[in-house]
Structure 1
Amino acid sequence: MAGPPRAVAVLRHAVRSGLLESTRPVLVACSGGADSVALAAALAFEGRAFGVRIGGVTVDHGLQAGSAERAEGTAELLRGLDLTPVLVRTAEVGAEGGPEGAARAARYAALADAARECDARVALAHTLDDQAETVLLGLGRGSGPRSVAGMVEERETDGVTWWRPLLAVRRSTARQACADQDLPVWEDPWNADPAYTRARLRSEVLPLLEDVLGGGVAPALARTAAMLREDLDALDALAATAPRPSRLPAADVAHLPPALRRRVLRLWLRDHGVPDLQAVHLDAVDALVARWKGQGRVDLPGGAGVVRASGRLVLQPPDGRGGAPRNPADEIEEPSP
């Protein structure tokens, strides 16, 4: 007896291990595009085989004409695949972060609400090609090694599990799987709009790199991300073992390699409730340890601050009470010559 077409088999194989590892219900985030439709079909098939309940959710951003009708059409497609429940959510898209960032934030908020409502993990259809684009974006923006390390297959944020089973699957394979199963797909015009950075990476930059470097660029970028992620995870694990008392002795961390020291400092600040740390804040706190010249207070997000006093880093809360020395003029440590 002949098996399914190759592309269909690849998609089903990609989701199988995740269903074996957990029987928790899954909600497929589906836009109606080829990647997410192929993922929904694969999960519908494998979910029946493994006894895992598979539902679907589509988000109407309200940013394009006919978006509500399109969302309902996608929901009907998911119902035709026997997914249950099938949810349609409306996103409240703001303005912060630009059009792409605002739409993404609104979409994830809507998906998170649906996941909590159904007590399910969310399956996202990001492919190897999406991973390569993410790595290039991180490189181009200089936004740090974590961004260059790309997306992870599974991550929990605020109680919601995000699962990306297709990170090793090419976009072309997902498209072929839809064609092989006669599944209708929607071509989002924004994906080809040169006004959006990711669209230009997809249509211009990656094809040019493939031509110049002789092919294989997207898989190479994905491999690089995976190797970098292993290194970063090892450093994070080492940093997590370091003691982080409320008043952190500078000498305890000064001797650490910079990559490890900064991680310890970040964890120390997060332990004490400092939110939304950016590189500029962490660099200034690190300077209190590694480049001590008598600097004053380092202001942090949320109104807190850090000072160096008597050889220790001291976190001052937003109202200035509890963490500061009684007499800063007397107790702030003098810099070394």
Structure 2
Amino acid sequence: MLRKVETPEKSERPIEAAEAEALFDAAFGGVSHVVLAVSGGADSIALLRLAAEWAQARSAPRLSVATVHHGLRPEADQEVALVAAHAAALGLAHARLDAPLAPGATRIEETARDLRYAALKAHARALGADAIATAHTLDDQAETVLLRLAAGSGPRGLAGMRATTEREGLRHLRPLLGTPKSRLVASLRSRGLAWAEDAMNADPRFARARLRASRAALEREGLTPERLGTLAARLARCEAALESAVDAAQSACLAQDGAAWRIDPAAAALPAEIRLRLLERALAAGEGGRLRLDRVERLASRIAAEPAGVATLAGWRVAWTAEKEIRGAPAPARRWRGAPSGRKEPE
């Protein structure tokens, strides 16, 4: 469904040219070609319009536009056409990227997100672009913090999304991460521009939609997007300090020995959080860099409580001694034996 509102609300201010200049100068500095991920919603249409206006006034990175189509809703074709029209009006190339979900797919939000980023990254590489930009806002950041809090995340998760991340040589930029969505909507209204409303954003089957429905109650208790965004920023600052300390600990105490690794006994004198993160780094290679924090915490607690022992985690056999040395080696493959029922069970 397309929505167009002609009259701006007095309570909301559009993004001014000087603000947009500061946002995009900071976000797009040092890149040569940015793929703007534009779905057709108000946030991403505002990203497209503001970035294009910013680029027209200066020597700026090349901008391209892409819309990922998951095939979930019949109106998605109309939304792709809307984005294509906006891009054409601004003189920017637009591409439709088909990334359909498999029949019977579960965890639709997460699956669609993974497919979306895979499609965007592949497209960026095909174009020779060195960055993608998404229209995540302060409201999205607040929802992310609340969702991660509900999931039991630690400081790293509660730091929320970062304005810039880099994976496999490609930057992911979020220039509007500190901007309330209401100001982006106001920016579109002030220009008389159309955008699309995705009914899935209000579908109570999805966690983010349920949080949006609870927004008024959360804000009455002080959990405003601004305060949650401030919390994320403060924790991101703490994260940077912690990771710097872990870098130093890794250089001093973590050694690789072929396929194995060793944590020096000197690490036992480090603060508990640094020891935990050092162990996590040692283990991360066995899980492709992704580990559940609670599993690492349980192992760290065992190592602290038991003078010596052995455990397996993330594909590693981890052994520790009374002298506080910790060693990890690839865990041996499991052997299987026949069970009376005819099924196989591990020994």
Class of the TM-score when normalised by the shorter of the 2 chains: 0.7 to 0.9
Residue 267 (structure 1) aligns with? 281
Distance change (3 Å), C-alpha of 1:54 and 1:15: farther
Q: In the alignment, which of 293, 318, 323 is matched to residue 279 of structure 1? A: 293
From the two aligned structures, give the one with the greater helix fraction.
Answer: 1
Deviation per CA, 1:113-140: give whole Å up to 9, x if none.
1121223211110111111111111111
- 1:306/1:314 contact within 8 Å kept: yes
Q: Counterparts of 1:310 and 1:142 in 2: how far apart (Å)? A: 32
Distance change (3 Å), C-alpha of 1:318 and 1:115: farther
Q: Counterparts of 2:292 and 2:32 in 1: how far apart (Å)? A: 35
Deviation per CA, 1:204-259: give whole Å up to 9, x if none.
2x21122244xx72101101110111011101111011221134245221121111
Counterpart residue type for residue 297 of structure 1: A
* Structure 1 runs (4+) greater than 6 angstroms displaced: none
Counterpart residue type for residue 241 of structure 1: A
From the two aligned structures, give the one with the greater strand fraction.
Answer: 2
Q: Counterparts of 1:228 and 1:97 in 2: how far apart (Å)? A: 32
Deviation per CA, 1:43-100: give whole Å up to 9, x if none.
11111222221111100011112423432332222222222x3111011425666111
**Unaligned segments of structure 1, at least 5 residues:** 321-337
- 2:262/2:326 contact within 8 Å kept: yes
Tell me whether 186-195 or 70-79 shows the greater mean CA deviation.
70-79
Q: In the alignment, which of 167, 186, 190 is matched to residue 180 of structure 1? A: 190
Which of the pair has the greater relative contact order for Cα pairs under 8 Å at 6+ separation? 2
Residue 189 (structure 1) aligns with? 199
**Unaligned segments of structure 2, at least 5 residues:** 1-11, 334-347
Q: Counterparts of 2:40 and 2:150 in 1: how far apart (Å)? A: 30
Distance change (3 Å), C-alpha of 1:274 and 1:37: closer
Residue 115 (structure 2) aligns with? 106
Q: Counterparts of 2:82 and 2:159 in 1: how far apart (Å)? A: 35
Residue 26 (structure 2) aligns with? 18
Shift of 1:272: 7.3
What is the identity percentage for the equivalent residue pairs of Structure 1 and Structure 2?
32
Counterpart residue type for residue 209 of structure 1: L
Correspondence 1:82-93 to 2 at 5 A: 82-83=91-92, 85-93=93-101
CA RMSD of aligned residues (A): 2.4
Q: Counterparts of 2:47 and 2:209 in 1: how far apart (Å)? A: 21
Q: 2:330 aligned with 1:317, yes or no?
A: yes
Query: What is the number of equivalent residue pairs in this alignment?
Result: 310
Q: Counterparts of 2:87 and 2:228 in 1: how far apart (Å)? A: 32
Q: 2:334 aligned with 1:308, yes or no?
A: no
Distance change (3 Å), C-alpha of 1:280 and 1:156: same
Tell me whether 93-102 or 28-37 shows the greater mean CA deviation.
93-102
How high is the TM-score relative to the length of structure 2? 0.82
- 2:27/2:174 contact within 8 Å kept: no
Q: Counterparts of 1:20 and 1:103 in 2: how far apart (Å)? A: 26
